[in-house]
Amino acid sequence: MKIIETQSAILSNAEVFQHVSLAQEKYKGDKSVPANHENITTVLKQVSDYLSALNQTPPNTSSSNGNPAPSNTHPASQISHFTQALKPYIVSTTNPKGLYKHEVLMLLNLKPEGPELLDCIIEEADERFSAEEQEGIMGVVADVLGRGHGANGVDGGQDGGGMEE
């Protein structure tokens, strides 16, 4: 494999899931795929399963290939609306301390549920953004994307128990 252009685009989980789903359809039942390429179908299935498990959805939601569609598979219009709503917080000539592209993408993928989780996503969040701006960012995340799973994993880290001593 030859890398033509490194990091020409950064993809969201939704875009990766869409690409993997299309690739799975392409290889599904294709008898012309050489035996040594069986691994690609395994990798595609594992990536699809991982993204599905990352953000579980209600059982009646499914993708075109029959697998449950992850809740982070936002339509392009929702992604566009999200970036437009975050525009006042995105880095620009008038806002040099704003959000960078990779931070916006991480907000989209992780959907943090509280301002304290912004420190995990946004480098030096407390220095770059006031408390009001952080609340504004969280408001955009909640309004456009809905509630997320936070940065603690699939279930938001809510296991009902504490640390054992």
Report pLDDT for 147.
Answer: 66
Average pLDDT over residues 137-151: 78
Q: Which two tokens stand for residue 151?
A: 């940065």
Q: Using one digit for the tens of pLDDT, what is the confidence trace for 100-140?
A: 999 999 999 888 988 888 889 999 999 999 999 999 999 99
Q: Where are the domains positioned within the chain? A: 11-73, 76-145
The better pLDDT of the pair 111, 153 is held by 111
The better pLDDT of the pair 162, 103 is held by 103
Report pLDDT for 87.
Answer: 94
Report d(CA 107, CA 137) in Å as an integer.
Answer: 9
Whether 151 shows a pLDDT value over 50: the answer reads no
Going by C-alpha positions, the residue among 80, 81, 103, 108 that lies closest to residue 91 is: 103
Q: Using one digit for the tens of pLDDT, what is the confidence trace for 53-101?
A: 876 544 333 444 444 444 445 667 888 899 999 999 999 999 899 999 9
Going by C-alpha positions, the residue among 144, 40, 163, 5 that lies closest to residue 83 is: 144
**Residue owning tokens 């296991």:** 159
Report pLDDT for 133.
Answer: 94
Report pLDDT for 34.
Answer: 65
